[in-house]
Structure 1
Amino acid sequence: MTRITLSTGASAWMVTRYTDVFQVISDQARFSSEAAIDGPIPVPMPEGGFPPPRPGFFSTYGPREHGRVRRMLNAEFSARRMREFLPRVETVVDDCLDAIDRLGPPADLVADFALAVPSRLFFELLGIPESDRPGLLSHVDMLLDFTADPQDQAVAFGELDTYMSGFVGECRRRTVPGLVGRLITSHGAELSDSEVAGIAAQLLLAGYATTSGTIALGVLLLLYHPDQAAALRDGSADTDHAVEELLRHLSVVAFGKVFTAAEDTTVGGQKVRAGEYVLCHLPSANRDRDLGPGLDRFDISREPPPHLAFGHGPRHCLGAELARMEIRIGISRLLRRFPGLRLAVPFDELRFTPMNAAYSVESLPVAW
């Protein structure tokens, strides 16, 4: 744990050890996420404090209200619901692979697969019409980019919010298949339209970018570990272990929420004062030597150690099982469909996205 000064001049504690990160993420009472700040660049506290979070963005709610919304959403991401969704995941993966095969090499594995599969599935899960998806994708891309102009982001958020408000109104007027429609049917009397729109917007912002980054970087990683790719392709490797190793090793969400200490407390023997910022560095936590030896090395054959790629406890990712399913099915079927898969450009031509809510690669040209 160390003190850092961010580019804005704000000071924060950077927490890097697994045990300490686990403590911060798990403790909603002492480490608040009510300030609506994400990513590694928190701003100094504005005069008069932060404005109230937008209704429905439950990641910024206090423990009681956060739990209330989570309980409403749990059924939508339950094991039963994911089993029901499995055939659709397989169909979408195969559709994208068919399109790649039909068009022939080279293909951009980000646009054509790693982004296409999880974004298409998540829009379907929410019930968003296909014609509306391209515009929403561009808004989400803007809002996840830590280097984007704040004014442009404000415009993108306003347009996303306006869309979701209209979509919720449509779901109130008639039966619309999907999560938003079911949420209104089951809990519409407890939730205002504004809160439902906020919930839908937050789910969309968190729903597919992390999975996309893990698939894209996971494929790239496997191309540089052909023996492990071969083990996945021929079925000799445990695919569930492989998915956990990809999630742990890549940890594409480096920081997530910026927490604020709600009271004086201690983390890793270090005193943290009330009001101070705390950032959790998940890639470091997930490679902590206390979890086992050699965790800087990628190895799908290892017994998966615990990791915090999906957070923990009340801050555990709602869509974790959906993400695991998409990664497992997507990568295994891709490797089997294209056994000769290889990079179509030199590695040093690839461009990565470190200043983004989900680390990834901008494009991944491949041939086979």
Structure 2
Amino acid sequence: METLDTLPVEREDPFQPPAVLKELHGALHRMTYADGRPGWLVTGYAEARAVLDDPRFSNTSQGAAPPIKELAPPEGLTDLVVPPGFFLAMDDPEHSRYRRLLTGHFSMRKMRSLEPRIQEIIDGRLDEMARAEAPVDLVRAFALPVPSLVICELLGVPYGERARFQETTAQAVNLDNSIEQRGAAGAELMGYLSELVGRKRAEPGQDLLSELVTGGELDHEELTGVATLLLTAGHETTANMLGLGTFLLLCRPEQAELVRTDPGVAGTAVEELMRYLSIIHIGPIRVARSDVPLAGQTIKAGETVTISLPAVNRDPSRFPDPDRFDVTRDAGQQLGFSHGIHQCLGQQLARLEMRLAFPALLRRFPGLRLAVPAGEVPLRPRGTIYGVAALPATW
């Protein structure tokens, strides 16, 4: 069996998985992790779902080997510490305890109630773009502000304080920074949100964070951890999808035209963009609690398993002709939001934002196009979330 030296993350084409992944045969591969330990890489769709469904694989960072050197703990530490409330990196029962408190805030019913306000936010940003002088950076003008405004209103974070969290969040997920720099940025973000939790305790409002504060089930540190996770995930992931997705659509004008003119295409377009781009390109990562048979191999207890979503979402056994981008494709089973009990809590919010934002942008600016050659659009290949650093556009 071929053994990979490390997790491939560098993309030769901005819209294609790393070439090494495309050359692999089979669904499960031996991989040497950044600290020298042996582990596994999953590239098959069925195998990825099996791992994500199986409680024999732990979601905590305890014992996990780093798939790339940038994720290795600082010297002297064997594991990174998971802050209280940061349930993304927890197993049950702790995971379910936190998630239970939040599920109702991200239900389909709640999303339907938010739709008019989200559309209003999108239209407001488009109005500002129309008043601006082209070209503009679509990341700063549209892709980042829309989800930031939405999650700020939902959580009760003053949008006027966005400079305090947007830059620190960007620094925390930028793998070009040292782990110490990323840790310092994360600590600064948590410090801000700890202060905000204190303000909510003194003067609650009509928002999710205030409700959690007054509910009394979480202590101050837990509230800070939950707020940090929701604020970070709530704007970073969707902002990157809006930016990179728009870049792709501008490079595929026939597909952009379908999104612009056919109201029925928006939903399938979002799923196809999630599948085709797979911006979560490092993980999910799991650690086997016991020996687990998978794809004809045995994953030993304590071994780390990394799922490559860029490869999984291009598995031809699940998505025929996987390298073809087609906004009318039924890609509803793509794993961009993960799967199982750790499936993204805010997936319906992200879907709604994108389903409204892409058509609105393309309809408002039918002549929208790149202001630079596609090869000059700056990418973010070394982030924990893949995307564009800027998207110069004109109309």
**TM-score of the alignment, normalized to the shorter chain, above 0.5:** yes
**Cα distance, 1:195 vs. partner?**
0.5
C-alpha distance after superposition, 1:185-207 (max 9, x if no partner): 33x2x211110111111112211
**Cα distance, 1:236 vs. partner?**
6.0
**Cα distance, 1:78 vs. partner?**
0.8
Aligned position for 2:206: 177
C-alpha distance after superposition, 1:258-314 (max 9, x if no partner): 221111112222211111111110111111111132111100122335111101121
**SS in structure 1 opposite 2:183?**
helix
Aligned position for 1:290: 317
1:337 and 2:364 correspond: yes
1:150 and 2:179 correspond: yes
Q: In structure 2, what is the Cα distance between the partners aligned to 1:224 and 1:236?
A: 21
Aligned position for 2:44: 17
**Unmatched runs of 5 consecutive residues or more in structure 2:** 1-27
In structure 2, give the amino acid aligned to 1:57: F
- Give the stretch that moved more between structures: 358-367 or 30-39: 30-39
Q: In structure 2, what is the Cα distance between the partners aligned to 1:200 and 1:227?
A: 40
1:104 and 2:126 correspond: no
Alignment partner of 2:104 out of 59, 75, 84: 75
**Cα distance, 1:146 vs. partner?**
1.7
- Give the stretch that moved more between structures: 127-136 or 94-103: 127-136
Check conservation: 1:90, 1:329, Cα contact below 8 A.
yes
Q: In structure 1, what is the Cα distance between the partners aligned to 2:73 and 2:80?
A: 13
* RMSD over aligned Cα atoms: 2.0
Instruction: Give the TM-score normalised by the residue count of structure 2.
Output: 0.87
**SS in structure 2 opposite 1:119?**
helix
Q: In structure 1, what is the Cα distance between the partners aligned to 2:199 and 2:171?
A: 26
In structure 2, give the amino acid aligned to 1:216: G
Aligned position for 1:276: 303
Check conservation: 1:344, 1:367, Cα contact below 8 A.
yes
**Cα distance, 1:44 vs. partner?**
7.3
Q: In structure 2, what is the Cα distance between the partners aligned to 1:278 and 1:105?
A: 46
Q: In structure 1, what is the Cα distance between the partners aligned to 2:77 and 2:119?
A: 50
Specify whether residues 224 and 45 from structure 1 end up closer, same or farther in structure 2 by C-alpha distance, changes over 3 A only.
Answer: closer
Aligned position for 1:32: 58
**SS in structure 2 opposite 1:290?**
coil
Q: In structure 1, what is the Cα distance between the partners aligned to 2:324 and 2:101?
A: 39
**Cα distance, 1:7 vs. partner?**
4.0
**Cα distance, 1:161 vs. partner?**
1.7
1:326 and 2:353 correspond: yes
In structure 1, give the amino acid aligned to 2:58: S
Alignment partner of 1:225 out of 252, 256, 259: 252
Q: In structure 1, what is the Cα distance between the partners aligned to 2:318 and 2:206?
A: 43
Q: In structure 1, what is the Cα distance between the partners aligned to 2:213 and 2:103?
A: 14
Q: In structure 2, what is the Cα distance between the partners aligned to 1:236 and 1:75?
A: 28
**Unmatched runs of 5 consecutive residues or more in structure 1:** none
- Give the stretch that moved more between structures: 63-72 or 254-263: 254-263
Q: In structure 1, what is the Cα distance between the partners aligned to 2:65 and 2:105?
A: 25
**SS in structure 1 opposite 2:39?**
strand
Q: In structure 1, what is the Cα distance between the partners aligned to 2:351 and 2:77?
A: 42
Q: In structure 2, what is the Cα distance between the partners aligned to 1:282 and 1:3?
A: 17
Q: How does 1:241-260 map to 2 (within 5 A)?
A: 241-260=268-287
1:128 and 2:154 correspond: no
- Give the stretch that moved more between structures: 43-52 or 105-114: 43-52
**SS in structure 2 opposite 1:289?**
coil
Q: In structure 2, what is the Cα distance between the partners aligned to 1:21 and 1:83?
A: 31
**Cα distance, 1:6 vs. partner?**
3.8
Specify whether residues 61 and 350 from structure 1 end up closer, same or farther in structure 2 by C-alpha distance, changes over 3 A only.
Answer: same
In structure 1, give the amino acid aligned to 2:61: A
**Cα distance, 1:45 vs. partner?**
11
C-alpha distance after superposition, 1:65-98 (max 9, x if no partner): 1011111100110112111211121111111111
Check conservation: 1:38, 1:256, Cα contact below 8 A.
no
**SS in structure 1 opposite 2:93?**
helix
Aligned length, in residue pairs: 365
In structure 2, give the amino acid aligned to 1:138: E
- Give the stretch that moved more between structures: 105-114 or 52-61: 52-61
Higher relative contact order at CA 8 Å, sep ≥6: structure 1 or structure 2? 1
Q: In structure 1, what is the Cα distance between the partners aligned to 2:197 and 2:263?
A: 46
Q: In structure 1, what is the Cα distance between the partners aligned to 2:329 and 2:83?
A: 43
Instruction: Give the TM-score normalised by the residue count of structure 1.
Output: 0.93
Q: How does 1:55-66 map to 2 (within 5 A)?
A: 55-66=84-95
Q: In structure 2, what is the Cα distance between the partners aligned to 1:85 and 1:292?
A: 32
**SS in structure 2 opposite 1:253?**
coil
**SS in structure 2 opposite 1:208?**
helix
Aligned position for 2:378: 351
- State percent identity of aligned pairs: 39
Check conservation: 2:288, 2:303, Cα contact below 8 A.
yes
Check conservation: 1:39, 1:255, Cα contact below 8 A.
no
- Give the stretch that moved more between structures: 245-254 or 48-57: 48-57
